[in-house]
Amino acid sequence: MRKPLLLALPVFLASCNMEPALETINSPVSENYPGNSGGGVSADIAWQKFFTDARLKRLISIGLENNRDLRVATLNVEQARAQYGISRSQLFPTVDVAAGGSRSRTPRTLSQSGSAVNSESYEVSVGVTAYELDLFGRVRSLNHAALQNYFASDAARVGAQIALVSQIASAYFTELSAVEQMELSQRTLDAVSETYNLTKMRFDAGDVSELDLRSVDVQVQTAKANLAAFQQRRAEANNAIAFLIGTGVPSNLPKGRGLEGGLVADVRAGVSSQLLIRRPDIREAEHQLRAANANIGAARAAFFPRITLTGSRGTASESLGDLFQHGSSAWSFAPQLSVPIFDGGYNKSTLDVAEVRKQIQVATYEKSIQNAFREVADGLAARTGLNGQIEAFEGLVSAQQKRFDLADARYKQGVDSYFEVLTAQQDLFDSQRALIQLRLARVVNAVGLYKALGGGW
């Protein structure tokens, strides 16, 4: 009865684990978003289907291949995986094969026999070097922490992918809005230039005052300034795209759509609990929490004895020819027991640090959930508000266009002064420009909501 119990004792000790149980953390947010009816989430569609613009999809594909930040995130995953491999290797003994030999000569002046002595020795052995018996789970806890850090780095990589896709899309939409505002400014410039030429002819004929002529000229110069500003904005947006995709913008891209051309698919938000499995930043925080919890196990195990084994088995001989002959076997076995007695409070302080870091990770995990909930709720609120504003501004642009047409006709008939035309022209331009900005905000909000919900990864 004693022998089986003694044989089972190392197995029992090896199953010891000092890691504390990771308690369930209740979500610090409500289940439903404000103003959202719930239902299934549709943000799990891939970005290739979420974006409907062929030009944008090509840019995103290039960015995923060449962006340097994403490359660094991917390399961080490889580094964490290699670090996990290093940690996991400590669970197994290190086995080395060693072979050596020596020859020496002792001169007769130093020899006890009074004559020179030649000596030889040869050895071949297979040995285990300082293998720790993980009786209290210290090495396994460190290995578990390394594994969780690896998972966290992979979640960070996914988060970097989602962020890159949304950044490229936002820069692309900004360029589209700049192009549309350039076209608006060019149309305005063409219209006021034509008006200026007609007014100049009437001024030369004495039909209008110089004030009217100078008022039209002000509009011409303002339209030129606006056009130059939007050309600069487009160039800056193009530079941003080139930076994000990691290379120059190709000249053979497919034709794109306008801001009102249905650039993205609509998404449903679902319920907040789905964020826990979808958002990569939440998953990253969860794995970091698990790693911190595993480090507590390693810190607790440091209070208990550590046993390391070193040994070898081989053959040794004074002659190379007799090295593998019968009777030349050699072995060594050197177990070592280390029991902590006094360390000046080092182990206690290490455990305190590990426990505090776990509490920090708990707070970080809860904050990541709260931040995700806020981002989705803000996106839903903005979507509703932007749709209402766009509908109102579409009606405003139509009304301003009719007002300008009437004012321009009355001025040409000599009923009103050019001041009415000037005011109507400026108000029309401002409302058209605001409508473009609102359409930009709506599509950027859709991308932000898609990203906040987990982004189809």
The confidence score (pLDDT) of residue 15 equals 53
- Element containing residue 350 per DSSP (H, E): helix 346-412
Q: How many CB atoms lie within 10 A of CB 11?
A: 8
The confidence score (pLDDT) of residue 322 equals 65
pLDDT tens, position by position, 344-377:
899 899 999 999 999 999 999 999 999 988 998 8
User: Taking CA 136 as the corner, what is the angle to CA 133 and CA 137, rounded to the nearest 5 degrees?
Assistant: 85
Structure tokens at 65: 């291949």
- The candidate with the shortest Cα–Cα distance to 297, out of 358, 365, 360, 366, is 358
Q: At what angle do helices 54-66 and 210-245 cross, to 10 degrees?
A: 50
212-217's contacts with Cβ under 8 Å and 24+ in sequence apart are 212/417, 212/418, 215/418, 215/419, 215/422, 216/192, 216/418, 216/422
Q: How many CB atoms lie within 10 A of CB 85?
A: 11
The confidence score (pLDDT) of residue 308 equals 86
The confidence score (pLDDT) of residue 143 equals 92
Out of 86-95, 257-266, 288-297, 310-319, which region has the weakest mean confidence (pLDDT)? 310-319
- The candidate with the shortest Cα–Cα distance to 266, out of 383, 156, 373, 404, is 383
Structure tokens at 324: 């593998």
% of the chain at pLDDT higher than 90:
44
Confidence band, pLDDT 50/70/90 cuts, at residue 234: very high
Backbone angles phi, psi at 103, to 5 degrees: -135, 140
Contact status, residue 306 vs residue 338, Cβ threshold 8 Å: yes
Displacement of CA 138 from its chain's centroid (Å): 31
Displacement of CA 301 from its chain's centroid (Å): 34
Whether the per-residue pLDDT at 263 is higher than 80: the answer is: yes
- The candidate with the shortest Cα–Cα distance to 165, out of 46, 335, 80, is 46
Higher pLDDT, 386 or 208: 386
Backbone angles phi, psi at 449, to 5 degrees: -70, -40
- Please name the residues in contact with 414: beta carbons below 8 A apart, sequence gap of 6 or more: none
How large is the average pLDDT for residues 143-159? 93
Mean per-residue pLDDT over the chain, rounded: 85
pLDDT tens, position by position, 95-115:
888 887 787 777 877 777 777
Contact status, residue 178 vs residue 230, Cβ threshold 8 Å: yes
Backbone angles phi, psi at 153, to 5 degrees: -65, -35
Whether the per-residue pLDDT at 24 is higher than 70: the answer is: yes
- Please name the residues in contact with 52: beta carbons below 8 A apart, sequence gap of 6 or more: 257, 262, 263, 264, 265
The confidence score (pLDDT) of residue 418 equals 78
Torsion on CA atoms 130, 131, 136, 138, rounded to nearest 10: 80
Whether the per-residue pLDDT at 388 is higher than 90: the answer is: yes
Whether the per-residue pLDDT at 417 is higher than 80: the answer is: no
How deeply is 263 buried, as exposed, middle or buried, from its count of CB atoms within 10 A (0-12, 13-18, 19+)?
buried
Contact status, residue 172 vs residue 322, Cβ threshold 8 Å: no
Q: Which domains does the chain have, with CATH numbers?
A: 14-91+134-304+345-452 (1.20.1600.10), 94-133+305-339 (2.20.200.10)
